[in-house]
Structure 1
Amino acid sequence: MRRREFIRGVAAVSAAWPVAARAQQAAQPLIGFLSTRSPEEATIHMNAFRRGLEQTGYIEGRNVAIEYRWAKGNYNQLGLLLADLGSRPLSVIVATGDPAAQAAKAAGLGVPLVFVVGQDPVRAGLVASMNRPGMATGVNFFTGDLGGKRLELLCTMVPSARVLGLLLNPTFGKEAFDEFRRSVVSAAQSLGRQSVVQSATTDAEVEAGFAALIKAGAAALVVQNDPFFDSRRSQIIALSSQHRLPGIFHIREFPADGGLMSYGASLADTYRQVGVYTGKILRGTKSVDLPVLRPTRFELVINMRTAKALSLAVPQSILIEADEIIE
């Protein structure tokens, strides 16, 4: 080949490269990620989601793009966030938290939906069945049905507590709110305990709620599994410490950050599973062929430093049952 022809060929390839690179980048699948939570407190779980994607060969920024939208516990913002996501060429949408999943389902964006929800997705109308879900699938975190079990564990940890406080969020959904309150109040009655219910939907109401529970004589606390409360984890832990109110929560991140105890499935592993399902859909698997998953293992986590600070003697039965003890 003559030198001049070779140079012309190299120049042509070089000129075409940016166009090809742009075309390749534009062809990347786009994931819309809608969360009821805040990005600051969801870091551990988002890393787990990305690990799940990587298990199927997708790495953010390399061969898949993700558009994040965070409601930060304000469920009224979900419609606006979805409208923004819906204007983009999404390949799949991921919705974490029951309100986000319900809003995404109702929006009918025409792309597969992968969700994390605490309530029964069939009863909530998200899927046709657990085994053949339809355009939406994901993980049923199954934590909403554990309120009674958490209360039993709390009473074992704090046997002197005759009045138990419940912190609930009515905007999470009437059915979930009523179901959680009913199960915990019923468990309290069966154990001969009195329960006091306090609602909170804002930071100010969370603080006022703690004061109201203390005034009512609450000596221990059960907090509803709700992304709003997850987003206020630091505030809730600080108020529990300030009022010396032992609490039980639904995910280990609460005792890991200084709360007393938690009982529930691993939320980090749930997010990893959602990442895997999202990657499988991007690979061509139909969502109807991906059964809704449910956790098979629930963990009891105890923070011994917090127990000591609250002057609690941890019963031997709790120590035996605990899956993780934070010293």
Structure 2
Amino acid sequence: MKRRHFIKLVGGMAMACPFVLHAQPLARVARIGFLGSASAPGSAKSVEALRTGLRDLGYVEGKNIVTEFRWAEGRYDRLSALVTELIRLKVDLIVTHGTPGTRAAKKATSTIPIVMAISGDAIATGLVTSLARPEANVTGSTFFIPQLNAKRLELVKEVCPYVARVAALSNPNNPVSKPIIPAMQAAATPLKLDFDIAEAQGPGEFDKAFASMAKRGVDAVVITEDGEFAASFGAIATLALANKLASIGAQEYAKAGGLIGYGVDLLGLYRRAAYF
């Protein structure tokens, strides 16, 4: 079966209040802190997309901006310490990758601007109370992950009508996972799909998760949103194929070898983060 690549632009939203770093030429070199939940190698394309967006606005690394990177390597318990390091470096703003990093940054500072390059539903996860008028020091792009993953169930059933049992690959340490599962369970019932959950905190647990799905008779897997998953799309696609599972994830997942890609343009969100 040929891979199918679906593009979804609806469902992502840019919050309404950009900060003013790019409103006028800087008199000094700005220091940006980047708080990554995954690894540097796995996030290289995302970082390059952010830099492209900054260059489009006239900001060039080493010329008028310097970026300090900190990587949690999938260990979300490290995020608080890493954001503290960035604050000590007196960064002008902090760019976060994912809900866990944004939560850690928001808890650590109420004065340094925080730009969410990517985040699950910012209201549902408690990051803001309004998208039109985000309060305090948090802004950026957010999208509605529960509905997105529910739609992925419909698509995998459409592409692979034989699918009877589907699982969500989920990171239990990621707060965006909590609202995803009920939404997917509700969507599975009218599709006459048995719904299952396979948990993994990172690459070290992928083999076990896929072996468990195969043992339980799962026909298809939905790759939910997580920084560690996004950094390992190629490995996940290979495991899905090896275990004869149909699979669906973000747009970039299909580009990495997965069967179906459906979702917002993640790299596009990183480019847009420069606007804030």
User: Which category of TM-score, normalised to the shorter sequence, fits these structures?
Assistant: 0.7 to 0.9
Corresponding position of 2:72: 71
Q: Paired residue for 2:83?
A: 82
* CA distance in 2: counterparts of 1:116 and 1:28, whole angstroms: 21
Question: Greater relative contact order (Cα 8 A, min sep 6): structure 1 or 2?
Answer: 2
Letter in 1 for 2:64: N
Deviating above 6 A after TM superposition, structure 1's stretches of 4 or more consecutive aligned residues are none
2:166 to 164, 167, 190: 164
Secondary structure of 2:34's counterpart equals: strand
Deviations 1:223-261 (A, max 9, x none): 1111121122232122112112110002x2211111111
Kept after mapping to 1: 8 A contact 2:32/2:92: yes
8 Å CA contact 2:33, 2:91 repeated in 1: yes
Q: Which residue of 2 aligns with 1:238?
A: 238
How far apart in 2 are the matches of 1:202 and 1:271? Answer: 22
The residue correspondences of 1:264-303 to structure 2 (distance < 5 A) are 264-277=263-276
The count of corresponding residues between Structure 1 and Structure 2 is 250
1:48 & 1:143 partners in 2: Cα distance?
A: 22
Q: Residue type matched to 2:238 in 1?
A: A
3-state DSSP class of the match of 1:264?
coil
Comparing 109-118 and 57-66, the one that deviates more: 109-118
Instruction: Give the aligned CA root-mean-square deviation in angstroms.
Output: 1.8
Structure with the greater alpha carbon radius of gyration? 1
Pairs within 5 Å for 1:1-327: 27-108=28-109, 110-134=111-135, 135-173=137-175, 176-250=176-250, 252-277=251-276
Aligned residue type for 1:50 = R
Find the aligned partners of 2:74 and 2:210 in 1 and give their Cα distance: 19
Aligned equivalents of 2:126 and 2:193: distance in 1? Answer: 35
Contact 1:118-1:144 within 8 A present in 2 as well: no
Is the Cα–Cα contact under 8 Å of residues 255 and 262 in structure 1 kept in the other structure?
A: yes
Length-normalised TM-score, structure 1: 0.72
User: What's the counterpart of residue 15 of structure 2?
Assistant: none
- Quick one: structure 1 residues 179 and 50, their matched pair in 2 at CA, closer, same or farther if it must change by over 3 Å? same
Gaps of 5+ in 1: 1-24, 278-327
The structure carrying a bigger helix percent of its residues is 1
Unmatched 5+ residue regions in structure 2? 1-25
1:179–1:122 Cα change, 3 Å: closer
Counterparts of 1:273 and 1:106, CA distance in 2: 24
| 1:29-66 superposed Cα distances (whole Å, 9 cap, x missing partner) | 10001011222122222221112112222111111110
The amino acid across from 2:253 in the alignment is: F
Please give the secondary structure, in 2, of the residue aligned with 1:41. Answer: helix
